[in-house]
Structure 1
Amino acid sequence: VSKGQLLLRLDMEHTKMEESLRQGILEEHKMMLDYVGSGMDALKGRIRALSSEMADFEQSIKSLLDELKNGQADQGAFKDIEGNVNEVMTKFALLRGEIN
């Protein structure tokens, strides 16, 4: 085997190693992007659910205000709203913790 053939084989092996390394890096980046993407999808789902709960909460407050205007509100209605507020605030805190 001549020196030229050895150098050629060495160059070919080096090229294969570089390509393999590039592929490995690309695969690793793709996996990281997929992971981040799935986390973002989960976060979007949680935000949508929280938004829906906020809409329900807003409706509860509007109903309570209507009852107050008509003199129909009782202490139980206030306790229901207070429970809803505490639940939503807890969920906001958890969501902020996940985002941070």
Structure 2
Amino acid sequence: MTADELARVSHRAWPLSIATASRMEFLVAVRHDRPLMAWHVLSAFTTDETYQTNGGARPRIGFALGGPVPLKPDWHEVPAMRRGVAYDSNR
């Protein structure tokens, strides 16, 4: 998979709230617990895709991505992911 293809499949359909997604600074693509590539997040938006919660269907989130950024050493320690997503809740 090329870097452009990875960005294309990574930027949308995340099961997050728009409030949480709007706080994201970086999006890091991970496969088999290893970070592959990262991008600066320019903005977040709702998509036409949904995911189910106890309260019903919610829109999935997409990200407008900036250019790739170097992988930070901390990103090599991938935390457990819920719904395929992990984020720093201290932000």
Q: TM-score, normalised by structure 1?
A: 0.22
More helix by share: 1
Q: Which has the higher contact order (CA 8 A, sep 6+)?
A: 2
Asked which structure has the greater CA Rg, the reply is 1
More strand by share: 2
- The TM-score with structure 2 as length reference comes to 0.23
